[in-house]
Amino acid sequence: MNLYPLKFEPIYKKRIWGGQKLREVFNKDIPPFEKIGESWELADLPDDKSVIANGELTSQTLNSAIKKYPEEITGDKNFSGHFPLLIKFIDAEDILSVQVHPDSQTCRRMGKGNPKTECWYVISAVPGAVIYKGLKKGVTREEFSKAIKKGSVAELLEKVPVETGQCHFLPAGTAHSIGAGLLIAEIQTPSDTTYRVFDWNRVDDTGKARPLHIEEALESINFNAAGSNFPITTVGRLVDCEYFKIDKGHQAKGCETLLSPGKMKTLIILTGSGEILGDDEVSVEFRVGDCLLVPAAYEGAMQFADDTQYLIVSL
């Protein structure tokens, strides 16, 4: 069959800190009045697998499609396990917990968990919005452990003001928190291993505090990496790490850009709309909030009906 850009059914996640911005900004069909914090746009984890929502492959999972058409979809990439990316939209109406994700060495040392490196692209931010990104220079494990007991962890983290259009890279081992009032596109390695060290003393709807994972977090934090050294990018190549590359595109209404074959890529539509038209004259429409996987064998062109900003994720 002629492969085409794949769209997926979002997987919604209720979170204590979530809101309704995914409906308001992207017109996502989320449950009204519920705190929906995450929309998983592209996922291939054991309990969460993206389902294709368009074309001949509708209702098949991403995993099954790749097994049927491995070279056509992935090109020269040989995925022996799960798809190597997890892409989300995050609606942080309230602040997230202070947390950390382990790296590969830590997972092997502890004998559990999956490594996670991520980045955040800020889609929108209320005035005064901040994130906490990495430790202040010189913070030791002993100091951090004492701060956990005192409830003063945030004082040891780099508090960074954020604006729309910024991209923040967070390698595994970085203690962090997303502040309130932020809508973010998160691109990461495929892991849901999260170790919380502080949750701002809040409780859930049942009056219970969420569990903390202090021992695992202390083992996972990279105390040699200061958050002040982590870059902030806004244009062009936003991220270039061993796991993924992210570029930002911006096209005006009426423009066109070619999608050349040879490399699989994922498109995250931040603003605007348009269509992708292939050599077979079959079109795939896109709009703000869409995430499309373009197979390596596909050749076509993006045509923009509106001024459009988008992210291009490749391996």
Give the three-class secondary structure for 311.
Answer: strand
**Residue 173, amino acid:** G
Region for 289 from its dihedrals, namely left if φ exceeds 0, alpha if ψ lies in -120 to 50, beta otherwise: left
Q: β-pairing, 300-304 with 291-294?
A: unpaired
Residue with tokens 């010189």: 138
CA atoms within 13 A on the CB side of 35: 11
The three-class DSSP label of residue 48 is strand
Contact 270, 311 (CB under 8 A): yes
Q: Is 23 helix (H, G, I), strand (E, B) or coil?
A: helix
Q: Whose CA is closest to 159, among 234, 227, 233?
A: 227
Helix (H, G, I), strand (E, B) or coil at 145: helix
Active-site choice (15, 196, 202, 287): 196
Chain position carrying tokens 């609606």: 91
Beta-bridge mates of residue 124: 183
The answer to whether 180 touches 118, Cβ cutoff 8 Å, is no
For the chain, the straight-line distance linking the first and the last C-alpha, in angstroms and rounded, comes to: 24
Give the span between the Cα atoms of 19 and 264, in whole angstroms: 33
The reply to whether 196 belongs to the active site is yes
Q: Cβ distance 271 to 308 under 8 Å?
A: yes
Residues 88, 121: Cα–Cα separation, whole Å: 11
Sign of CA dihedral 131, 136, 142, 143: negative
User: Which sequence positions are flagged as catalytic?
Assistant: 196
